[in-house]
Amino acid sequence: MLIKLLSDTDKRHLLDLAKLLSIADKPLLWDGKSADELTSGTNLDALTIQEGEQECELIAELEKSVGVSSEQMAFGNLFGRARDVKARLIEALKTYPVPKADKPETRVQAATSVLKEVLKSKTFELPTAPKVILFELLLVSLRDGHISSIEWALLKEFQQHHRLEDFIFDDLLERAETLNQEVSKTISIILE
């Protein structure tokens, strides 16, 4: 919504953060199986994150808003861009024992470590950019109707990293919740 206020590099930064936020709390699969379905024949090194259709649509919408196609993102990753956040999160999760990898506290630790890598030495051209990005990340988190504990921890980490005041965070959260509710109501009216 407010993406137009960001520079091109800040838009790509937002896209990386949104990707991380959208998958941070999604189910883990080892060789296509959940933790309850693991057997001795399961390849534990084949860890993936089960993305839902909603998350894929959201990222596609953001890529379109940013003006970057999936092919351009892949091309950018090959030539100097940091490794994809999904791959980084999977690598971070692989460092934990399998029984602990799916626990919320472990997911927060792994996702926070990736978030800190993404945020490291990132500076913005405009002082408003972190606020715009935070607002957009709040909208990403609210896409499914609520903010999970893992998403909340990442949002607070972003806030602390950029030294945004609590009242700014709270105001942006309130605006994002209101906007999300209004969009949901509008969609309900249209689909009636």
Residue-wise pLDDT for 138-147, tens only, equals 999 998 888 9
pTM of the model: 0.85
**Can you tell me the mean pLDDT for 64-71?**
69
SS3 of residue 43 by DSSP: coil
**Tell me, what DSSP letter sits at residue 181?**
H
Element (DSSP H or E) covering residue 21:
helix 8-23
Confidence of residue 1 (pLDDT cuts 50, 70, 90): low
Asked whether the beta carbons of 22 and 147 are under 8 A apart, the reply is no
In angstroms, rounded to a whole number, what is the distance separating the alpha carbons of residues 176 and 139? 6
pLDDT at 156: 97
Element (DSSP H or E) covering residue 159:
helix 149-161
* pLDDT tens digit sequence for 107-143: 999 999 999 999 997 888 788 999 999 999 999 999 8
Please indicate whether residue 55 or residue 187 has the higher confidence score (pLDDT): 187
Tell me the average pLDDT of the chain.
87
Nearest to 93 by CA among 105, 109, 108, 110: 110
> How many residues does this entry show for the chain?
192
Confidence of residue 68 (pLDDT cuts 50, 70, 90): low
Please indicate whether residue 41 or residue 87 has the higher confidence score (pLDDT): 87
In angstroms, rounded to a whole number, what is the distance separating the alpha carbons of residues 4 and 129? 11
Please indicate whether residue 102 or residue 70 has the higher confidence score (pLDDT): 102
**Can you tell me the mean pLDDT for 1-11?**
85
Nearest to 159 by CA among 173, 147, 145: 173
